[in-house]
Amino acid sequence: MLEVGTKAPEFLLPDQNGELHTLSEYAGKKVILYFYPKDNTSGCTKQACGFSELYPQFTEKGAVVIGISKDSVASHKKFEEKYNLGFTLLADPELQAIQAYDVWKEKKNYGKVSMGVVRTTYLIDEQGIIIKAFGKVKAAENPAQMLEEL
């Protein structure tokens, strides 16, 4: 996980509509950047729906929410449509941002070891500096937790 106080790494990734986004385009806004393992899994769905539900409150506080996983643009589009998500999902199948933000880790699941995304949320200030970092977040509680942090 990246340290609080460090400059958040730049990225260039496509969203659920295939449009490219960079971190620097959000300069002047707070960014809640959350990394999650997989579209349409129970924890990830709870987290995404929570962020979507609270999205108007995030925007009132001058913040944007961006979710990143290694799923494809098409997978993100289905996920967005299925749950009517109101924020940006970025596709990172090459692990560009996932590795830059140090969330690609060894995971153990039922004794099986594999590499995967560890659920992590960063709060980035208007100048692109990480001001909060949360590792191994609880999916269902994370959206409300982040709203409180603002």
**72: buried, middle or exposed (CB in 10 Å: 19+, 13-18, 0-12)?**
middle
Give the H/E segment covering residue 115.
strand 112-117
Which residues does 7 contact at the CB level (< 8 Å), separation at least 6? Answer: 128, 129, 130
Residue 85 CB neighbour total at 10 angstroms:
21
**C-alpha Rg value of the chain to the nearest Å:** 14
**From 44, 68, 117, 124, active-site residue:** 44
Query: Is 36 within 8 Å of 44 (Cβ atoms)?
Result: yes
44 is catalytic: yes
Q: Where are the alpha helices (DSSP H) in 32-141?
A: 42-60, 73-83, 96-100
Give catalytic residue positions.
44
